[in-house]
Structure 1
Amino acid sequence: MKVSQRNKAVSAAGIAPSFINVDGEEQAISDETRQQLLAVMDLDRLAEQEAAPVPPAKVFRGPGKREMAVEGSGTFHWRLTTEKGKTFTGEVAGGETLTLPPRLAQGYHQLTLTQGERQWDSRIIITPRRCYEPEALRAGEKRWGALVQLYTLRSENNWGIGDFGDLEKMLAEIAERGGDFIGLNPLHALYPANPEGASPYSPSSRRWLNVLYIDVAQVEDFQQSKAAQRWWKTVKTQRALEKARDSEWVEYALVARLKLEALRLAWMQFRQRDAQDDAMLAFEAFVREGGDNLWYQAAYDALQCEKSADDTLRVGWPGWPGWPEAWHNTQLPAVQSWCDEHVDEIRCWMWFQWLAHRQFAQCWQRSQQLGMAVGLYRDLAVGVAEGSAETWHDPELYRMKASVGAPPDRLGPLGQNWGLPPMDPHVMLARGYQPFIDLLRANMRDCGALRIDHVMAMLRLWWIPYGETADKGAYVFYPVDDLLAIMALESQRQRCMVIGEDLGTVPKEIIGKLRNNGIFSWKVLWFEQERNGAYRLPQSYPRQSIASASTHDLPTLSGFWEAGDLALGEKLGLYPNEKVLKQLHEQRARQKKTLTKALRQAGALAEKQQEEEVDTQAMTPALNQAIHAFLAKTNSALLGLQPEDWIGMTTPVNVPGTVNEYPNWRRRLSVTLEALFADDEVDRLLKEVSRQRNSQ
């Protein structure tokens, strides 16, 4: 391929020639990296899209005249079938503009062009201008809620991991204190056969749920099964349960063993139900609705359990990449034969998914009964792991010879490699964006808001050629306007608002797009500083945002104030040298001093405290309350608060940049839900937050 042709192909593929580095300078991407990424993509697919007279999908936003160019020559016959089945026809010449019928409703319509024996299809998507926003927020009200990593919850009844039963109880407690929602970590399906692979941001599937969140005690067939109840009452089971409940960390392997054994016994009871039983009919409807995607998700979970016992497979390589090639995707004969021979086992895992979805839906319904405007918000991870059910079932959609991450920064000179194969934007377009639509629908189900992790991925992702370090990557652009428009359509249809996690390096070109699309920004207290270092006062926070003190990737309030995160980072060897650590401590001291000043200016510190010097070393209850009062005063329509901060916890739930150095995604709350909401200090804190939110 000639240089000019190669450069054209790289440009058409959306591979950026340069990026702005951590010093604010433009840095060129090497030709080698660009060619490596070009080789990763499906060039035949790109050529087909360029040669067609119309694109595979065309998105139109808002009202107005809708026209699209028709490439090629000769006369084309066209037929447009609307989402509701109405048909329009006509002719158009190549090189001319096709004007679509007026007053097309919002939704998905099908345009077909024919010329002789040849045919081309294009999905016409008509969308609203902005995402959905609850009436309470449109009316100017300000709401608050709890930000919860569900697995961290302790309770008197759970099995060593927070579950949907805990979530339902917590909703009532939050609502009683004036709260409006609970924001959750990604609930995506993980790896039951490899329960230690616990990161909710490296899931097996983003369309299905983590079955370890099932509240087993709620399951009717567990209650009715004599075998299950005998198992439950044994000394061995009760001792294992006590160990799981008492542990400081989530003991994932133990929790998985207990829950899966119990659920299998419950499944044996469920199988005895009559075919016309209401629960059986509901399950069968769920199976039909889930289709192939649910079938192969269940098959993957079942097959993983079988393969995990095979000592001949590669140790430490979870999932299908460690299996023989004959098992590397769902359409291979060995996989199909196995599925035919294990139908009941697959149905068992589909039943687990049904239980999880039914219990989560019950939580959503409870939030609505409590009058919550947002109720629940879910979190959509940026991708799936290499050895995931999604890549196993749909390898064409993912570029398996690349991984996404982040370019180098001062603390990570080689950048970050997240180990997640990227979705191919050209395959998404070729399929009329259906994979993206399916993903949104699955995650907007049974909730009032969806948080998009690393929302900048709508615009671009840092792709890294397989086997290279992250500094050898480049940005690949995505059809951001189309994706945001589709998000607005699904948001309105599902009545689910959208929150974009826009922390870190945010490209200027996406900031306005997110705002204009009605996507809420994320404002973290620690980062809300002016150029001179002063903390922004509450009235400066934008209305279209959610404010919080911290996130799951940052230290808790007490951890930040007492510099516990820096001490931990030093212990784990995260900093390149003593000079960097000293600079971080100096920066933290300045932040605490300027934050204290902002607390006083906002009137969040009591008069007595204004006259005295606030302790800059320890997080006191009074200072904790002052920071919560400051956040409650912010102009942000939403406010999210972490339970860890209500009780002064210092240990983080995740330390970015670590894998085995720290037990990420395992730290639990230090108290049970029952004790948390019986605490008078917590009760006063939350009621004061509610009062502040309602008084403005």
Structure 2
Amino acid sequence: MAEAAERWGVIPRYNGYQGNVVESPASTIEAIVRSMAGGRDEPSAVEQGQIGDGGCAPPPGRAWGWAIQLYAARSSDSWGIGDLADLRRFGRWARSAGASVVQISPLGAQPPTSPYQSCPYYSSSRRFRNTTYLRVEEVEGAERVSAELAPLQAQARALNSQRLIDHDAVFALKSQALELIFRAAPQPRGLASWQKKQGRALIDFATFDALAEVHGAAWRSWPSSLQSPRARGVEQARAELAERVAFHQWAQFHVHRQLARAAREITLIADVPVGFASDGFDAWRWQDLLAPGMRVGAPPDYFFPDGQDWGMPPFDPWKL
């Protein structure tokens, strides 16, 4: 097994938090090798990439900034959760106070289903973004349905008085509001050109969300004809759900637009999640590149003496 581990690049030991060297269990090493090998004796031949000299340009100087969890940075105008308009306002204030950057929690998209998955470090997608961070009133077309939005706005702002964020309520109210705006203004300025730049990934993402609305968030429980972007039933389903696919692309466009406005106030640093949910869009799209049966985690430390299982599927480096 030691030879197999070396062939597949599996390191059999690690430095423990107490300064000692910890040998990984043979069963763990065997499981990792088996997952990557898939019945093969040798990994595929790869050409080693060119590695630079290790040098890098020094930063221009020292700077400081704030770190915030966006969902918690809510204001009296929020709909029960911090949003991108709140971020823009905070960035403007931070810059006026001399800060150079604002670090924010991950903005990864979550499935449009209830109960709502609220953990920013366990997102459906790391590329696409969470639409609950939209400031509803600033979505193009909101002024056309202001009367219909008013009762939703009142309910949502009432959530600000609660100490804890009610993610399910926020999701439900913002979803209703966005549906109203979409029906009133489905083609905002710049949408078509932005869609073209995003390419196939955006279409697949919007299709996934439309399918999740029908079949639930966990794609492995969907009909087999839908369990991959290239599965035989997906094109037909996309056509049948064309309006929902269009809606989810439209919503992503508005998140992109509002985030860009916030970024004009101050440099934003987005915290990067280690992985993504095993039943989300990224795993659905990239399932052929993942290591089956494996989950991302962390070894033991002072706070977690038994280690941590984060439940996220890792990429298999030999498939990339």
1:60 aligns to what?
Answer: 51
Q: Secondary structure at the match of 2:297?
A: strand
CA distance in 1, matches of 2:255, 2:153: 24
- CA deviations 1:524-570 (Å, max 9, x no partner) are xxxxxxxxxxxxxxxxxxxxxxxxxxxxxxxxxxxxxxxxxxxxxxx
5+ residue gaps, structure 2, are none
Letter in 1 for 2:286: D
Provide the rounded CA distance (Å) in 1 between the counterparts of 2:88 and 2:314: 35
* Kept in 2: contact 1:209–1:353 (CA 8 A): yes
Give the corresponding residue for 2:19. 24
Which deviations, in whole Å up to 9, do the C-alpha atoms of 1:39-96 show, x marking residues without a partner? 111457884632xxxx34522315xxxxxxxxxxxxxxxxxxxxxxxxxxxxxxxxxx
Aligned counterpart in structure 2 of residue 403 of structure 1, from 282, 295, 298 = 295
Match of 1:488 in 2: none
Structure 1 regions of 5+ residues with no counterpart? 1-5, 63-127, 274-278, 309-317, 368-374, 429-696
**Structure 2 residue 226 is the aligned partner of structure 1 residue 327:** yes
Alignment of 1:454-603 (within 5 A): none
Q: TM-score, normalised by structure 2?
A: 0.91
**Deviation for aligned residue 1:31:** 2.5
**1:231 maps onto 2:157 in alignment:** no
> What residue identity is the alignment partner of 1:11?
E
> Is contact 1:46–1:426 with CA below 8 Å preserved after alignment?
no
Distance 1:258 1:231 in 2: 12
User: Aligned AA for 2:254?
Assistant: L
Secondary structure of the residue that 1:383 maps to in structure 2? Answer: coil
Query: Shift of the alpha carbon at 1:221?
Result: 0.9
The answer to whether the aligner puts 1:148 opposite 2:68 as a matched pair is: yes
1:196 aligns with 2:105: no
| Partner Cα separation in structure 2 for residue 203 and residue 132 of structure 1 | 33
> What corresponds to 2:311 in structure 1?
419
Over alpha carbons, which structure has the higher Rg? 1
CA-to-partner distance for each residue in 1:252-302, whole Å, 9 max, x for gaps?
A: 11111111111111111223x5xxxxx44x211221221221111111122
Partner of residue 255 from structure 1, selected from 170, 182, 186: 170
Secondary structure at the counterpart of residue 61 of structure 1: coil
State how far apart, in whole Å, the 1-side matches of 2:25 and 2:245 are.
47
Q: Name the counterpart of 1:268.
A: 183
Report the residue type matching 1:130 in the other structure. C
> Paired residue for 2:251, among 333, 352, 361?
352
CA RMSD of aligned residues (A): 2.2
The 2-side partners of 1:363 and 1:331 are apart by 36
Tell whether 2:204 aligns with 1:296.
yes
Is 2:79–2:153's contact at 8 Å kept on the other side of the alignment? no
Q: Distance in 2 between matches of 1:131 and 1:44?
A: 44
Distance 1:305 1:132 in 2: 48
Greater relative contact order (CA < 8 Å, ≥ 6 in sequence): 2
Residues in 2 aligned to 1:412 and 1:176: alpha-carbon distance in whole angstroms = 40
- Equivalents in 2 of 1:284, 1:342: separation in Å? 19
Indicate the residue corresponding to 1:529 in structure 2.
none
Find the residue that maps to 2:311 and give its secondary structure: strand
Contact 2:67/2:103 (<8 A) preserved: yes
C-alpha distance in 2 between matches for 1:183 and 1:45: 44
Higher strand share: 1
Q: How does 1:370-385 map to 2 (within 5 A)?
A: 375-385=267-277
Residue 130 of structure 1, aligned match among 56, 72, 75: 56
Counterpart residue identity of residue 299, structure 2: P
Residues 151/399 of structure 1: CA separation in 2 closer, same or farther (3 Å cut): same
Q: How do residues 202-221 of structure 1 correspond to structure 2 at under 5 angstroms? A: 202-221=122-141
Alignment partner of 2:315: what SS?
coil
Offset, 1:19: 2.3
TM-score between the two structures when normalised by the length of structure 1: 0.44
Does structure 2 conserve the Cα–Cα contact (< 8 Å) formed by 1:240 and 1:254? no
The structure-2 alpha-carbon separation of the partners of 1:344 and 1:57, relative to structure 1 and needing over 3 Å to count, comes to farther
User: Residues 129 and 341 of structure 1: is their aligned pair in 2 closer, same or farther, counting only changes over 3 Å?
Assistant: farther
Secondary structure of 1:59 counterpart:
coil
Aligned residue among 213, 223, 238 for 1:305? 213
Instruction: Show the counterpart of 1:37.
Output: 32
